[in-house]
Structure 1
Amino acid sequence: MTDRSGSRKASNRYYQGPISDHFDGLRFFNPDGVEPGGLSDLLKWKLSGGRARWPNPVVSLFPPARPDKHVFGDALRVTMIGHASMLIQAAGLNILTDPVWSERVSPFTFIGPKRAVPPGIRFEDLPPIDLVLVSHNHYDHLDLATLTRLHERHAPKMLTPLGNDAIIRRGVPDARIATMDWGDRIAVTNGVTVDAEPCHHWSARGAGDRRMALWAAFVITTPAGKIYHIGDTGFHGGLNYEAARQKHGGFRLGILPFGAYEPRWFMKGQHQNPEEAVQGMKLCNAAHVAGHHFATFQLTDEAIDAPVKALDAALRQEGVEADRFRPLRAGEVFDVPVV
């Protein structure tokens, strides 16, 4: 078997399926996109000395939230746990995105990016969890220890892009998992559906499995409105945002990353910055945004307060009201206005 360059290759350890416009038979890829940097680029970045120092400890602006068991009707509520982990409550359903309660996002428990602020909801205070969305397999988004705890306590259904089920089943062999390719739709319940849509990112759990599992954004359609959740993405010229608007018509809420973006020469293809996140908000026609991917784990070079400062400037430049794009801190509860 050969890859697109004609070289010999091994089999995919997570997924076997037909070749498509974003899968070459071994690895997934972003059509007309930018591949992540290699080892030499990583070393260049790590040795550059540009990393800002975060305060230790970080003082949370909000106490841990104690969510209601359910919300109904027109209500749409998002509670920030930290990073890309959020509790979405709508139509009587409780949905977690990329849940991480671990202290580190790393293959090891003793080294790697450490949590700077406690989770915004204590694990024991979670309401009954119906659904878990796992956007891709990086350790700050797919945390096997947390998924195991959730399965033991709540036994939720888990939705994840192709190949990630093989990773999850290593820790949770009897989990209820449905896998999704870009363009797939799954009916959940109560008039709620979930679509998997393209985003510009990549995947890896180690040195030998780069891009062997798919990454995706999710569109959650509920009686209370549509939600566009992106766990991680590069801006990619706004193409995926425009496609989401054309397919879905717009959103009551976008859940968009706007942190972990420096240095730009290394991160630009995979992590959008605040200016690009605001452009994405406008392109996808999101009435409101819950911003994430900042001030929880120090993954990149920028200072802890840099994303919010840059976001404020971008909103002013684009003429977007500040209360429409909320950078959510751990424990913060956002009751999304009715459109």
Structure 2
Amino acid sequence: MGATTVLGLARRAAVGVAGAMGLTWVVRAAWGIPSAMGASVSAIAPVAVASARYRNRQFHNTEPSTQVAPGSAVSLLLSALTRQGVGRPLGAIPLATPEVPERAGALAVTWYGHASVLVEVDGYRILTDPVWSERVSPSPVVGPARLHPAPAPLSELPPVHAIVISHDHYDHLDRETVRELVRSQDAPFVVPIGIGAHLRKWRVPERRIVELDWGASYCLTGTGPGADDLVITCTEARHFSGRGLIRNTTLWASWVIAGPTRRVYFGGDTGYTTAFAAIGATSGPFDLTLLPIGAYDVHWPDVHMNPEEAVRAHADVCGGEPGYGLLVPIHWATFNLAFHGWSEPVQRLVTAAKAAGTTVAVPLPGQRIDVNALSPQVPWWEDVRRQ
């Protein structure tokens, strides 16, 4: 066999191997996508139709809003081509090992990253928007990846009393995390109307699904001598939903978590809205607010708040009382979902909060903050920014 023939066979073999590897990657990238995307429109609609906010097979915001500002297509494309990497930190993001007291405290919060928070309210533990997967995407190999590891595995979470979901975007509702929580916990999933269809597709038991419209509540009944109830209320947000090309088939929400002595507001993911003042008037003021401060941009001003708007929202839901309550920022630092710098949201937040007289605590991922025993704030993000 001549050298030319051997070289030709080698080249064809290399092409074949590369093709097989490429095919393997494509198969891996596509594996499980239909299931991860969740329920179909036809499966969601029978429940969704009961809501007054559901018209023409879609949910709607109270205030007019657009997902992308009109006329911004060219500018958005340019940002995507030139600024996508600015949201990555210069160095490693420090983590804290979560403290897990035997009993839940009166008011404490452990931030696991993004909008995943373990809230302790009057002896109850509530888990919000749990996402432990490496990527926020229907694909295991394509889509925004974590900028820091999860501070602890799901198996190390203490028993929780409820799992609250704000909406069905991948960075707030994750199939693999849900499946693990079905195995490791026995708490109900308290979700906006329509999301129950996703959970049913992922084999969450019906007894563990609580679907609520804006204004509806779910009560956790206290057990043991002297135990009191905790009420979780679905409240308005200004956002959108969708896990595929069809949008707004499920509702989005913020949440009021009210114990007998402490009250917490979980903003989930939302643009600034006049609904905050109404929530404050009917359910506030709040001892603790968990408000999103990241992934904002001029191209989508209606659906994500910037840090200054978060400070304003805190004041609104606290009834405009100056200095009332503690603001803990969420929805930043864990995934690169916009075109701003990694630490920009928290820098702007601290500046705006100081000007407004708002008390802010910025935990490390994994850090537990006891609201009744606050320590001086350490600006740990500055060390990440300087690396």
TM-score interval, normalised by the smaller of the two chains? 0.7 to 0.9
Secondary structure at 1:87's aligned position in 2? strand
| 1:183 and 2:215 are equivalent in the alignment | yes
| 1:233 and 2:270 are equivalent in the alignment | yes
State the structure with more CA Rg.
2
Residue 249 of structure 2 aligns with an amino acid whose one-letter code is: M
Residue 14 of structure 1 aligns with an amino acid whose one-letter code is: I
Question: In 2 relative to 1, CA 38–207 (structure 1 residues): closer, same or farther, beyond 3 Å?
Answer: farther
- Which digits, 9 at most, give the CA deviation of each residue in 1:61-86, with x for residues without a partner? 332213123224xx211001010001
Distance 1:299 1:42 in 2: 17
How many residues in Structure 1 have an aligned counterpart in Structure 2? 320
Could you say which residue in structure 2 is the equivalent of 1:6?
A: none
Consecutive unaligned residues in structure 2, runs of 5 or more: 1-39, 223-228, 319-323, 374-387
Could you say which residue in structure 2 is the equivalent of 1:314?
A: 352
Could you say which residue in structure 2 is the equivalent of 1:69?
A: 102
Could you say which residue in structure 2 is the equivalent of 1:254?
A: 289
Distance 1:283 1:71 in 2: 28
Assess if the C-alpha contact under 8 Å between 1:118 and 1:330 holds in 2.
no
Could you say which residue in structure 2 is the equivalent of 1:5?
A: none
Could you say which residue in structure 2 is the equivalent of 1:277?
A: 310
Assess if the C-alpha contact under 8 Å between 1:101 and 1:119 holds in 2.
yes
C-alpha RMSD of the superposition: 2.4
Alignment of 1:15-164 (within 5 A): 15-16=45-46, 17-18=48-49, 21-37=52-68, 44-48=75-79, 49-55=82-88, 58-72=91-105, 75-164=106-195
Distance 1:255 1:307 in 2: 14
Question: In 2 relative to 1, CA 252–14 (structure 1 residues): closer, same or farther, beyond 3 Å?
Answer: same
Secondary structure at 1:282's aligned position in 2? helix
Assess if the C-alpha contact under 8 Å between 2:215 and 2:233 holds in 1.
yes
Deviates more, 1:107-116 or 1:34-43: 34-43
Distance 1:296 1:117 in 2: 6
Could you say which residue in structure 2 is the equivalent of 1:325?
A: 360
- Which digits, 9 at most, give the CA deviation of each residue in 1:73-105, with x for residues without a partner? xx2110010100011123332211000000000
Question: In 2 relative to 1, CA 104–242 (structure 1 residues): closer, same or farther, beyond 3 Å?
Answer: same
- Which digits, 9 at most, give the CA deviation of each residue in 1:130-181, with x for residues without a partner? 2100110000000010011011011221000010010122213425100000
Report the Cα offset of residue 195 of structure 1: 0.5
Distance 1:62 1:157 in 2: 29
Report the Cα offset of residue 283 of structure 1: 1.2
Assess if the C-alpha contact under 8 Å between 2:168 and 2:250 holds in 1.
yes
Question: In 2 relative to 1, CA 57–314 (structure 1 residues): closer, same or farther, beyond 3 Å?
Answer: closer
Distance 2:275 2:201 in 1: 32
Could you say which residue in structure 2 is the equivalent of 1:202?
A: 240
- Which digits, 9 at most, give the CA deviation of each residue in 1:14-42, with x for residues without a partner? 13354755221410011232031299956
Q: Which runs of 4+ in 1 moved over 3 A?
A: 10-13, 17-21, 38-44, 54-58
